[in-house]
Structure 1
Amino acid sequence: MSDDLMFDIAVVGAGPAGLAFTRSLTGSGLSVALIEGQPEAALRDPGFDGREIALTHHSIRLLKSLGAWDRVPAGEISDLREARVLDGGSAFALTFGAEGADRLGVLIPNHLIRRALFEIVEGQAGVSLMAGRKVANCAVEPAAPRGRVVLDDGATIRAKLIVAADSRFSGVRNQLGVGVEMNRLGRSMMVCRMRHDQAHGHVATEWFDHGQTVALLPVADAEERVSSVVLTLAAPAIAGLMSLTPEAFAVEIERRMQRRLTGLELVGTRHAYPLATTWSRRFAGEGFALIGDAAVGMHPVTAHGFNLGLRGQETLAKVVRSARVGDIGSGRLLARYEREHRLASWPLYRGTNALVRLFTEETAPARLARGVALRAGQATAPFKAVVRKMLTA
């Protein structure tokens, strides 16, 4: 053990949740090992990955408090002023406006948020970045400091607390013996930016068409004529779309959208991601905690996943900081994090999954139920107020 590297906390995963959690500990006096398989260059300047993140007002305030907000170029931030939900060929739309607020939220490219978070963590006192290194195995042991993380180069890290932030397919979660409810949906999400004739007006549209789901997200553009297109289909169909030439791809997407947008032109690269939802059986235990997608991997349809990940790391950081000179790996202490984050996550996770089932089943009763649900939602002011508050509170 004399050659082991000693830290208070070992964070595995330098994605948004892991980076935000590390930053949330600034000034705490705790030493942190931040372990990430990607090379440091990829963290410092991540490439465009196609994903536009819809941030709630709470997430905006959090990024500001962490010091990351001002590091995102203002010209890359797109206001989200209205959201619409469409079903099949019906012209009816369930709409959510900002009402008293100036906007429902904002949309920012994922890679710019990641870059901003890395910039504020890089050089943070007490943080040792271990990039380009992967976890070979990890465990929580009875003797202090409990956590043992062995890297692929043979180095061993001992920590009072292991924090898994390594994606919904978390290897750390598996090695710690935490069970997970996983639903591999057999579908993929393709994302890309496209220019079009019509102005988007900073309106986001979610269209549940028969056999496919299409989201149109407004991208920051002086003419308001560039949107992020998010298309969900069976994995083989997405693979076929990815192989088309840009010209043929634009024709096919215009056809799939039934010319709701015209003059489509691919802007930049296309990216495809397999869809799976995950719910960890435990969020914490003696000597460990799970945050971000390692705790809850949401379906992207309601755009809650990223925001939930930021909220979860904030909750864990507050619990850890409250220990002061106490045992930050105590199961009793970490149970507070688990209770609060499960309470915040459970309704969103189950509600989102129910929504996906309702709007993707193709039976006649399901189609009828969708139309009824949309019209009931539009006519129910309390329901719309609750959804609006989730975004603007």
Structure 2
Amino acid sequence: MTQIPTTAPAALYSDIAIIGAGPAGLSLALCLAGSGLNITLIDQQSRASIAEPAMDGRDIAMNHESRAILQQLGVWQRFPADQVHPLKDAQVVDGDSPYALHFERNDDADAPLGYLVANHRIRAALYQQLQQHDTIQLLTETRVTAVHSNAADGVVELQTPQGPASLRASLIVAADSRFSAARRMMGISARMKDYGRVMMVCNMEHQHDHQHTARECFFYGRTCAILPLGPKQSSIVITTPASRAQELQNLDAEIFAREAEAMIGYRLGKMTLISERYSYPLVGVMSQRFVGRRFALVGDAAVGMHPVTAHGYNLGLRSADTLAGLIIKAHQQGKDIASRSLLLQYEMQHKLLSQPVYEGTNLVVRLFTNDNPLAKVARKAALRIGNNLKPFKQQVTRRLIQQR
């Protein structure tokens, strides 16, 4: 991987400029790495922060298609085997009821539904693989001050450690989070959904075996998820109003562990906190458009998901894979890699994939966080109908697995 010179010139050129070196931006760069195109990644972080990201508490559920894409990119092989945790069963529980909606594989009893990998390990592996490609440049500690485009190219105005600079590119891609500044600079609006909750995540050891089962427990006023990690270790995800999250954050570790045991209905027995507690505000985003003139959105900049259905990174990786596939095909045919027709094709494909998932997730969140008596009845009915409606279970399970 080529590094930008320490004295950045006033003008730079790249075939594709990617704003944001998070998981989506790094994934897109790798998807394009063998194309022969020159790629520039731009990020405000230092190179050290990108190379060795700190643990942030988040464990990412990945389906089989995501695994296949990352294997093809040479990234999956970089995960230590003991840090890839299989998901063999998934359950949805309403309140204190012992009844659960199950999703398990019937086609292959030995194969998992998916896999859990820590977010910071994914980012580190993506960066490590990036080092193998000299057509990718990484411009760090650099702030984007403006983005605009014309019929010929796109322009990213930069503030680098060496001063102002301008980067021209045939295509500009924003991968700078669900609160994308680049998206706003290009005049693209987005539907923001503030769920009025904070997600607290931490890792805990526990007395009972998790049996590689993910559980989503919906209680009135809060949601608790159990994501199985190593032997008798799980990631606990608590979704609650901000005031309650702050209370939990301030609790002594022992008292917090007792609270966590009660929140998940004592399903794992005695628990011990083994990590910091991390909190994130929950905001969903669906961009009104995914493309502009010589401009595209990938990852959370296009669609930012509520974590309840665990589709976030899977959709982000699919957006990168889809866009890269169209770009590489156009480049091989000698066509414009940022033509209007190409970008509209990308938008259509990714919206067809992501919009039903986004709207469906929001419907689940509304139903299972509504304390209205009718909603409570509907929740219990939905779980029983879902368990007994085989086509529904098969469809959901196929979406969870997403095999190529």
Asked if Structure 1 and Structure 2 have the same fold, meaning a TM-score greater than 0.5 normalized by the shorter chain, the answer is: yes
Give 1:207's aligned residue: 217
Query: Are 1:137 and 1:151, in contact at CA under 8 Å, matched by a contact in 2?
Result: no
Cα distance in 1, alignment partners of residues 106 and 277 from structure 2: 34
For the pair 1:132 / 2:141, whether they are aligned, the reply is: yes
User: Equivalent of 1:150, from 132, 138, 158?
Assistant: 158
Q: Give a deviation string over 1:79-106, Cα, whole Å, max 9, x none.
A: 1000000001211100011222311011
For the pair 1:263 / 2:273, whether they are aligned, the reply is: no
Structure 1 residue 47: Cα displacement? 1.2
User: Equivalent of 1:52, from 42, 53, 59?
Assistant: 59
For the pair 1:20 / 2:30, whether they are aligned, the reply is: no
Question: 1:37-116, aligned counterparts within 5 Å?
Answer: 37-101=44-108, 102-116=111-125
Cα distance in 2, alignment partners of residues 186 and 171 from structure 1: 22
Query: Are 2:291 and 2:344, in contact at CA under 8 Å, matched by a contact in 1?
Result: yes
Query: Are 2:191 and 2:288, in contact at CA under 8 Å, matched by a contact in 1?
Result: yes
Cα distance in 1, alignment partners of residues 59 and 117 from structure 2: 5
For the pair 1:160 / 2:170, whether they are aligned, the reply is: yes
Q: Give a deviation string over 1:43-95, Cα, whole Å, max 9, x none.
A: 11111111111110000101100000110100111110000000012111000
Give 2:5's aligned residue: none
Structure 1 residue 327: Cα displacement? 1.4
Cα distance in 2, alignment partners of residues 337 and 80 from structure 1: 31
Give 2:337's aligned residue: 328
Unaligned 5+ runs, structure 1: none
Give 2:4's aligned residue: none
Give 2:389's aligned residue: 380
Structure 1 residue 158: Cα displacement? 0.6
Cα distance in 2, alignment partners of residues 22 and 45 from structure 1: 18
Question: 1:330-349, aligned counterparts within 5 Å?
Answer: 330-349=339-358
Give the length in aligned residue pairs.
388
Structure 1 residue 255: Cα displacement? 2.7
Q: Which amino acid aligns with 1:168?
A: R
Q: Which amino acid aligns with 2:283?
A: A
Q: Which amino acid aligns with 1:347?
A: P
Cα distance in 1, alignment partners of residues 159 and 133 from structure 2: 22
Cα distance in 2, alignment partners of residues 247 and 190 from structure 1: 17
Cα distance in 2, alignment partners of residues 187 and 317 from structure 1: 35
Cα distance in 2, alignment partners of residues 149 and 124 from structure 1: 25
Cα distance in 1, alignment partners of residues 306 and 138 from structure 2: 30
User: Equivalent of 2:40, from 33, 39, 52?
Assistant: 33
Structure 1 residue 123: Cα displacement? 4.6
Q: Give a deviation string over 1:283-319, Cα, whole Å, max 9, x none.
A: 0122000000000001100001110110111000011
Query: Are 1:141 and 1:148, in contact at CA under 8 Å, matched by a contact in 2?
Result: no
Q: Which amino acid aligns with 2:370?
A: E
Q: Secondary structure at the match of 1:194?
A: strand
Structure 1 residue 112: Cα displacement? 0.6
Cα distance in 1, alignment partners of residues 45 and 105 from structure 2: 39
Cα distance in 1, alignment partners of residues 63 and 290 from structure 2: 23
Q: Secondary structure at the match of 1:30?
A: coil
Percent identity of equivalent pairs: 44
Structure 1 residue 389: Cα displacement? 1.0
Give 1:189's aligned residue: 199
Q: Give a deviation string over 1:104-131, Cα, whole Å, max 9, x none.
A: 0111111111111111112512111011
Query: Are 1:10 and 1:163, in contact at CA under 8 Å, matched by a contact in 2?
Result: yes
Structure 1 residue 155: Cα displacement? 1.1
Aligned residues: CA RMSD? 1.2
Cα distance in 2, alignment partners of residues 65 and 15 from structure 1: 19
Cα distance in 2, alignment partners of residues 116 and 210 from structure 1: 39
Structure 1 residue 217: Cα displacement? 0.5
